[in-house]
A = this chain, B = another copy of it.
């Protein structure tokens, strides 16, 4: 019996590390068979998430494609924080 269809997704929540660290992490992940990477940036890290996406595109070119972008907000400790989730697929 075949199991359910699985997609290996890797989520990267941006913090204070240099963007190059996350970039390397994602590229290694793709090489290890991860199919989808979700880049998550909250608040001021939203801009960083878009920059990281552009860096990834520069490095991997046509071997990745933009799968989806989600924007929204969540309540964290009583304050509303905006976020972005950028899904990138390995082709």
Please report A residues at the B interface, Cβ cutoff 8 Å: 41, 43-47, 50-51, 53-54, 66, 69, 71-73, 80, 82-84, 86
Contact = CB atoms under 8 A, between A and B. Distances in A.
Dominant secondary structure of chain A at its interface with chain B: strand
26 contacts: A41-B47, A44-B44, A44-B47, A45-B47, A46-B46, A46-B47, A46-B50, A47-B47, A47-B82, A50-B71, A50-B82, A50-B83, A50-B84, A51-B82, A53-B71, A53-B82, A54-B71, A54-B72, A54-B73, A54-B80, A54-B82, A66-B71, A69-B69, A69-B71, A71-B86, A84-B84
Number of copies: 2
Nearest to A50: B82
